[in-house]
Structure 1
């Protein structure tokens, strides 16, 4: 299940304060396994039901950076979109994401420096009414002048 805005680009000239884009994705066992393969993070809290049951999470959880990757997808595909360069990201992991959870990843424009093409974005991920991730990103936005 994937629900999001159309992919593309919002150049710096068209960005507005408060502009929001999102995607919604169900995190699957396959997603977690693929992330473990790519990242080489095979911590059993992500992959082993028996091990994970005896942790503070009382069950398997997705990698925090897998959830953060959904923020990256919104930034790189929607807001500002294609041609965006990541400059920095702060993240706070507030609650676990479990296999089968549907994550809503949202990005909101909170500051625009047109002269330097810098955009500050509020980033958040929700599972239902629970905020599971919060942070801010600084990006270099694409410009119509450099098409």
Structure 2
């Protein structure tokens, strides 16, 4: 599994003109799943996301997690994280998991983040989504459960 984590002041996802998820301060997390991923990958990344210290403390150092600041998570599935554009000009998505597996692991990831005590808002799996974000910093972190 791969995630792109963005520290945000606010973020929102809209599907067909309807807001499906919206948060204030917290983390915008894009989630991609590949064929070999399991619940173990989802757990590893859920724990990393919830404990990652990328919010500033009183001294301006990145020392606080989203849990520490009482923030929320906006989680959006994104199979294009497994896009490969090394050859040609059109990306290949053969490394992205089939929707049946990807949706199960995406939902498991969200469940595990909630189990760690955070509110999680989401998009709609497989939908064409409009995502808005005010990236604070900017701070963007890439994590791969296989690395």
TM tier, shorter chain?
under 0.3
Which one has more relative contact order, counting CA pairs under 8 Å at least 6 apart?
2
Q: Return the TM-score normalized by structure 2.
A: 0.24
Q: Larger Rg: 1 or 2?
A: 1
